[in-house]
Amino acid sequence: MRPIFPSVLLLLASTFATLAEAGPMQAVLQEHRDLIVESSRKSIGPAIEAVASSGLPEAHSVLQAWQGKDIWMRKSDGLFFLGERIDAKTYRLLDFDSGDTAGEFPKRALKNIKPNSGIRAMIGTALVRFQLLDPEPERRMAALDAIERSPDASLLAPLRNSMEGEGDAGIRARKMRIERLLTIAHGTGVDERVAAIEEMST
């Protein structure tokens, strides 16, 4: 068996210590690091879902940064950060959990996560969940516009969850109508779909 050099042990210990100190959102990202770095539309779904359904307050901002190609991975330890461009060769990294600055780094020490158009569309669908509950009516309306453009089955549950607390009568009525249409298309049973069809036809 080949001996493990002290420098390697030190690097491993440092890496494990860094990961142990990571916040909850960083932990979610690290769990899916390989998928995020690979950035394949065929396999990225679980990573997006993990962030969106984490229940963490940072989920919305992380998805926005991801969609906007503003997530950077520090090569030395594989941690993800929000990156702010200082100049062509330097970026400031911000921790997703605390918002604190993690330092300024040369671009060569970082890897930019660049989702393609297909992945950005998937992230956009995940963002609709948050926009449905946004305090600004315009953003809730924009979320409904997005659902109508792309009536994905995964949006049915978030739409239903947003209806009870909707305080704007006009937006609530629109949510109810779109919910019925989504149920017709993606309802779990025949009876549920038939009931939605009958309700829409009255």
Q: Structure pTM?
A: 0.79
Same domain, 25 and 62: yes
Residues 149 and 186 in one domain: yes
- Residue 143, domain extent: 136-201
Q: For 126-172, write each residue's pLDDT tens digit.
A: 999 999 999 999 999 999 999 999 898 989 999 999 999 999 999 99
Per-residue pLDDT reduced to its tens digit, 64-91: 999 999 999 999 999 999 999 999 999 9
Cβ neighbours for 148, distance < 8 A, ≥ 6 positions apart: 178
- Is position 155 within any domain? yes
In a domain, 118, yes or no: no
Both 101 and 192 in one domain: the answer is no
Residue 184 has pLDDT above 80, yes or no: yes
Instruction: Mark whether 102 and 143 lie in a shared domain.
Output: no
Provide the domain count of the chain. 2
- Rounded to whole angstroms, the Cα distance separating 144 from 174 reads 8
Last residue of a domain, one of 96, 112, 128: 112
- DSSP for 83-104, written as a single string: EEEEETTEEEEE-TTT--EEEE
Phi and psi, residue 103, nearest 5°: 125, 175
